């Protein structure tokens, strides 16, 4: 495996060596033998983020945004948060309940609140108060009027609404 091939593999698996390892172990071993520097992987991540942002502008797909979030969240800086917010504005609030909940959970955070995951905590921790408020408003629009017969999705909606209210009170919005 060459360095250009390693870049293709790395980006194919959404810039995650964990994904490479769990989904294709022999390829991971070849990749690992190259001992690619962290700065190089970060550069590839930045390229992938720009590529996905362009793709998102064209397609407006929720799935692309969710993948973009997974890559950009590792940086946890204002620049990547700004890219994510601009990306979010390219997506119209979806009609399907599952996609609405997927977006809301990503913005609110999928992990335990103590971990402070999600875009809202990220914006708040970086002192971006206006952005934090805008993200709360986006989540409110996502969770507003959702009707579904799917019990699993209904539970996710209730959890997201509860988290939304709790976070709003905690952060003072």
The string of DSSP letters for 97-131 reads: HHHHHHHHHHHH-SS-GGG--SHHHHHHHTT-HHH
Rounded Cα distance, 73 and 84, in Å: 9
Q: Provide the pLDDT confidence category of residue 162 given band limits of 50, 70 and 90.
A: very high
Q: Provide the pLDDT confidence category of residue 76 given band limits of 50, 70 and 90.
A: confident
| pLDDT tops 90 at residue 49 | yes
Q: Which of 69, 116, 110 is nearest to 88 (CA)?
A: 69
Annotated domain spans of the chain? 1-36, 46-92, 94-173
pLDDT number for residue 109: 92
Q: Provide the pLDDT confidence category of residue 90 given band limits of 50, 70 and 90.
A: confident
| pLDDT tops 80 at residue 78 | yes
Rounded Cα distance, 52 and 47, in Å: 9
How distant, in Å, are the alpha carbons of 29, 100, 166 from that of 67? 24, 15, 26
Residue 164 in contact with residue 136, Cβ under 8 Å? Answer: yes
pLDDT number for residue 52: 93
To the nearest whole number, what is the mean pLDDT of the chain?
91
Instruction: State the Rg of the chain over Cα.
Output: 18
Average pLDDT over residues 120-128: 94
């Amino acid at each position: 495996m060459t360095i250009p091939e390693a870049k293709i593999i790395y980006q194919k698996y959404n810039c995650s060596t964990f994904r490479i390892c769990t989904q294709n172990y022999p390829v991971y071993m070849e990749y690992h033998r190259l001992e690619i520097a962290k700065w190089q992987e970060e550069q590839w991540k930045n390229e992938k983020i720009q590529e996905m942002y362009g793709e998102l502008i064209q397609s407006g797909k929720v799935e692309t945004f969710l993948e973009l979030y997974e890559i950009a969240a590792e940086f946890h800086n204002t620049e990547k948060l700004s890219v994510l917010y601009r990306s979010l504005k390219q997506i119209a609030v979806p009609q399907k309940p599952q996609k609405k909940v997927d977006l809301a959970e990503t913005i609110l955070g999928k992990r335990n609140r103590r971990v402070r995951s999600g875009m809202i905590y990220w914006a708040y921790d970086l002192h971006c108060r206006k952005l934090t408020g805008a993200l709360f408003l986006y989540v409110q629009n996502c969770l507003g009027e959702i009707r579904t017969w799917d019990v699993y999705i209904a539970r996710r909606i209730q959890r997201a609404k509860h988290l939304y209210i709790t976070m709003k009170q905690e952060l003072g919005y």
